[in-house]
Amino acid sequence: MKKILVLIILFLIPISVSAEDTAKSSIVMDLDSGRVLYENNADEEKLIASITKIMTCIIAIEEGDLDKEVEASDEILKMYGTSIYLEVGEKMKLRDLLYGLMLRSGNDASVVIAKEIAGTEEKFVELMNEKAKEIGMTNTTFSNPHGLDEETKNYSTARDMAKLSRYAYKNKTYRKIIGTEEYRVKTDNKSYLWYNRMKLLGDYKYCTGGKNGYTPSAGKTLVTTHEKGNLKITVVSLYDNDEYNNHENLAEYAFDNYYNYNILDKNDFDLIIDDNKYYIKNSFSYPLTDKEKDNIKVLASIDDSLTKGKVGNIKISLNNKVLKKVPLYLKEEKKKENFFTKLFS
């Protein structure tokens, strides 16, 4: 026999405005839930230029020894465009190379990193495409670790790049790198002082980091992350002639339209039915507009034939579409035993 309980949730009211967009393809995605808050031609495949390096960076963080000194070799001689100006034979820690990759968009750093992680650039590209498939980037093809597109080309979509940004943002080291405005490095060859080329960091108070890109074929591309209150978002735009203003406007649109409501809190959850106490192991929050908040329904479904462990689910729905099912558990009360009970047992 199952029992159904309807839980009524009350919310605060955010303010709404409208979005403006100058990109040919763009998206705003909530970093916590993955909900898309805004999109414009988000599944149109385009060249992505140096925002490619987000994938290069996260693979290196996950697969490499960040404190290992890496030697630059002849692979840097074929690189052009933005560079950190490594010299053949120069040694630099992998961690420092990643700062050069993301802050200065070093194409030379990208091929040194690729060789260190996978042995060859070609094998590193295989890792890039495997990772893309793993995190659900269904319309993405990587051909190089830097984004230059005269010889080989990297294609993706705004939606796929938002998925990548969301995945990478979960990594603490990645967040630290993209959120750095200034970085100093010293090798046996020379000293470096790098300033972040992604201008929105420091100019827009809610921006927490990102990566910009440009080639004549791809146009200007940009991936950024932002945080205001309890709402964290990523914004992606492809082929955007006013990318920094556009990202600020799209971020403001999200912050003005959406509030991240804490629908279930595992630390403040109290459900008692027929003297049975129930609990959840995971909290659940979700960004909602003012109009949507009144259409959220929370139902607890309990199988009362079960006496321990998971005994049901809490289903959260918006406009009759299921957003999440959170497992529900029965709290087992421990009986206190006195001295004589313990003795005779």
Active-site annotation, residues? 50, 53, 105
287 has which bridge partners? 260
Q: What angle do CA 181, 175, 101 make, to 5 degrees?
A: 60
Q: How far apart are CA 56 and CA 127, in angstroms?
A: 9
Q: How far apart are CA 183 and CA 191, in angstroms?
A: 11
Q: How far apart are CA 226 and CA 235, in angstroms?
A: 8
Annotate 124-135 with b (16+ C-beta within 10 A) or e (fewer): bbebbeebbeee
Q: Is 309 left (phi over 0), alpha (psi -120 to 50) or beta?
A: left
- Sheet with 207-215, edge to edge strand ranges: 36-40, 23-30, 231-240, 219-228, 207-215
Residue 166 structure tokens:
């969301």
String of DSSP letters for 118-157: HSSHHHHHHHHHHHHHHTT-TT-B---SS---SSS--EE-
How far from each other are the two terminal CA atoms of the chain, in whole angstroms? Answer: 35
Residue 244 structure tokens:
């920094």
H helix or E strand, kind and range, residue 27: strand 23-30
**Which residue blocks in the chain are alpha helix, DSSP H?**
53-63, 94-103, 107-118, 121-134, 158-169, 172-178, 200-203, 243-257, 339-344
Q: How far apart are CA 277 and CA 302, in angstroms?
A: 12
